[in-house]
Chain A
């Protein structure tokens, strides 16, 4: 039973009503949420939504990140990780090395997240070999690999369609695409921060193709650089429209949205007013409220810091990501969070928050002892069923 008086006083009465009935919010309503002088009221609404969707369930995954190369032809302005081919510090990881690193993990990972730069020479056959070798070594792991930007790059190198690339990789074991490379869709900003990367249309098209092929995917938004509030809302709106289409075609669609706060250190983009913690939380909350058809929202602690991720679980997020080890991209851009959290640490932390820890796989199916909890249906939820 929310405190409706509070929202009415702030002029959010109509939005609060829609949140309770599960009705879609308009872009103007999104603007009102960004403009609301009380950021915690927006957080309270998002938490209402999160609770209707997931109750106290809070997901985490035992996962490993593999960054197979930092050599990249794109050279995005915000990237502290990229090296050009032949530049000092550039590296390529062999298939054997990737497998070795994954097998060295203290717990067998349920989710293997593999992304890298758009390398000019690595061919599709290398990635087919990589996926099948990893799958063979870790049959229980879900392979969540290659952003849409990498898929587009592979297609370009091979001279085939992105659908053909996806089909080939799926046959080799690919189950999911991670959500990276979306950055911000607004063309004007995209030109300034990542001019050589796939366009918004291409990124969304590839995810649509993946969904049609039965692959699940995630989606992201990089915010807090040169974009406006309207650009953020436009980004969220494009994602939910793509999701509408994918779900209509019977696909899995996007599983999880990951808002990524821009890290201001070590990159060429000078941000006039860097994000503060409250900006991050408000954007997370508005994302939860706008993305009515995407089931999960991740508090990616690597980018947020652990303490902020804990609070984000009360501002719309339901997932803490995982026991990430060897994350490089965010940390090279100045992320100050820990390099890894253990499973026990994550469980204790979630219980300490008064929430229920659920270990999941990459598609958010509960695993292990937590499998007794039913996964949440991807379809639009009915908020009256829960809470």
Chain B
């Protein structure tokens, strides 16, 4: 690396650490040239500016996949079953209720519900499910990714905004940022051709924000996208957040990047290394100056790298994931209990705190730490 480039990288990192917004060209320079440790340190400085207290948060929740039946057939997915497949399932409301009861017993405050694009379930099934949950359980429902919302619109003939409104009226509290994959249509056409395009994904999130729902945003990288397309993804999320914040919506609470897990999928790719993950995490922290929280991904990276990621821009340990099925189907099976997360966070020099979806803290005395 030439002296001039070194000097530019150093200057950009220093300014970004101070909170200055990066241009695409600057982000590209950092992506290609910044040394791992310098990139991580600048990201950690930004994290400390946004969250000066030495606290790392996480939510106690359970992933409930209400169905694995899906018409999308995304090439990176090892979880779905095509309609009519013997292993396809739809959970009954009773089964869902049982899982929620267990979640509450473990100190859980929310459930994350996602499923496939089921061809036959009408919108009313989802509304009934939400009403059933809300009538019976004091739990936050964080559910349906934008592609599912788009699918519901298609089967019901409503607009996506109408669908969100109806789901909200039935009890939906917030929307997880899944199905974003890489928000570049050229990539989506290759890896998930039947899922909603990037513009619609962002549009649905902005509609949700305008209707008063908070959401997260994710990125799955390391499959068939280029380095430049990863940057496009970050800048698309940043621009979307700008639009939502201008309308005084709450916008995205958090950004959650993770690496593609190639086992049992139809994509052949070299599994990304942990330093590549850490670089992307740190770059996300520097680019997304308007998103408050950055989650580390212990589910894909394991406890050791997730702990280290707390020094590469991450301030949130994600969730305890009392149940997780989708990543496990792709060959990765890390498990962590709430007690183990607390130990990792403390050993990293931070105080672990249970939070809710909106990042308010669960009072320490009411939380029930389970080993």
Contacts and interface: CB of A to CB of B under 8 A. Distances in A.
Interface of A: 1, 3, 6, 37-41, 43-44, 47, 273, 276-281, 305, 307-308, 310-311, 313-314, 348-349, 352-354
A311 B278 contact: yes
A311 B37 contact: no
Listed from nearest, the 5 A-B pairs whose CB atoms lie closest are A277-B304, A44-B37, A276-B347, A307-B274, A310-B273
Nearest to B340: A276
Contact residues of B: prevailing secondary structure? helix
Given A1-B6, A278-B347, A310 B274 contact: yes
A353 B41 contact: no
Given A38-B311, A277-B303, A281-B308, A349 B273 contact: yes
Contacts of B270: 348-349, 352
A193 B232 CA distance: 54
B305 A277 contact: yes
30 contacts: A3-B10, A39-B348, A40-B37, A40-B44, A47-B36, A273-B347, A276-B304, A276-B307, A276-B343, A277-B304, A277-B307, A277-B308, A277-B344, A278-B348, A281-B308, A305-B302, A307-B273, A307-B301, A307-B302, A307-B305, A308-B302, A310-B273, A310-B275, A311-B304, A311-B308, A314-B36, A349-B270, A349-B273, A353-B275, A353-B276
Contacts of B41: 3, 6, 40-41, 44
Contacts, number: 81
Nearest to B273: A310
B349 interface: yes
Contacts of A311: 274-275, 278, 304-305, 308
B31 to A, nearest CB: 12
Given A40-B311, A44-B41, 5 more contacts: A6-B41, A44-B38, A276-B347, A307-B274, A349-B270
B272 interface: yes
Given A6-B41, A40-B44, A280 B304 contact: yes
Nearest to A352: B273
B40 interface: yes
Interface string B269-285: 01011111010000000
A1 B278 CA distance: 21
A78 B304 CA distance: 22
A41 B273 CA distance: 21
